[in-house]
Amino acid sequence: MSCQKVSEFLDAYVDKELDVISSLEFERHLAECVACRAKYDQYRQIQDSTKSRLRYFRAPEEFEQRLRAHLRPPERYQSSNIRREWFPKWRPWAMAAGVVAVLLFTALLLQIARRPSPSDMLAQQVVSSHIRSLLANHLSDVVSSDQHTVKPWFSGKLDFAPAVKDLSSQGFPLAGGRLDYLDNRPVAALVYKRRQHTINLFLWPSPILDSGPRTLTIRGYNVVHWTHSHMAYWAVSDVNAPELNQFAHDLQD
């Protein structure tokens, strides 16, 4: 993970929104990079200070004494003198409190602006699942290039029937399928090949009817996402972007 990625994911890591693999990569980078570690420590100090010190303001004892004196019967004090003494001393405190409030509000807006959108967070999960399938040697639960073997395997394991297409003639042969877990639900993962490269195609029902393909790159992997007939499709691989877009186009055709 690069220093730029650490800066982008700092809020998500502190709020415990990163997946397991991303969190491990984040912590590994912090252990090796002094500058990012210092930035993370500074961020935590600001967060801890905000939580512990800015919840309330303790008034000085002098204010309590003057307030009690102000509430006494008029014959026991001169109210005009108290007002003249009290307001000038509290004016700097009020200005300082206003500055602090503005700074906190600005910091909150910056955090919200830098926080990844739900779609970007889901894209991170998709890439993590792709990497996990390659590292854990659990690429397929059913190994077959026959779509009539792979599609029935999912029957009874999911609450939907995934569309399984054979794209061997287009240069993307089917290699198998497995169950995965994304977006807080079980999903189908179809495995395709492109020469020596592996393409994971994740699909599950979506409330969106149709949307055009969206291409992005995350941690060196290319991702294409689209929806069709209330089904979400996420294709991820280390093949180049034009070939992955061609794969998505062939699937939609």
Residues 106 and 141 in one domain: no
CA atoms within 13 A on the CB side of 1: 22
Residues 73 and 146 in one domain: no
C-alpha separations of 77 from 3, 68, 71, 147 in Å: 64, 11, 10, 94
Residues 213 and 123 in one domain: yes
Q: Which residues of the chain have pLDDT under 70?
A: 51-58, 72-93, 109-116, 136
Q: Which pTM was predicted?
A: 0.57
Residues 90 and 148 in one domain: no
**Could you give the 3-state DSSP secondary structure of residue 236?**
strand
**Boundary (domain end) residue, out of 94, 114, 134:** 114
Give pLDDT, residue 77: 46
Residues 129 and 10 in one domain: no
**Boundary (domain end) residue, out of 96, 114, 132:** 114
Give pLDDT, residue 29: 86
Separation CA 58–CA 55 (nearest Å): 10
Give pLDDT, residue 114: 63
C-alpha separations of 214 from 10, 35, 233, 238, 249 in Å: 25, 34, 11, 16, 12
Separation CA 176–CA 171 (nearest Å): 15
Residue of 188, 203, 192, 190 lying closest to 169 (CA atoms): 192
CATH of the domain at 160: 3.30.200.100
Give pLDDT, residue 121: 87
Residue of 140, 163, 225, 237 lying closest to 195 (CA atoms): 237
**Boundary (domain end) residue, out of 44, 79, 114:** 114
Domain range for 199? 118-252
Give pLDDT, residue 36: 85
Tally of domains within the chain: 2
Contact 136, 103 (CB under 8 A): no
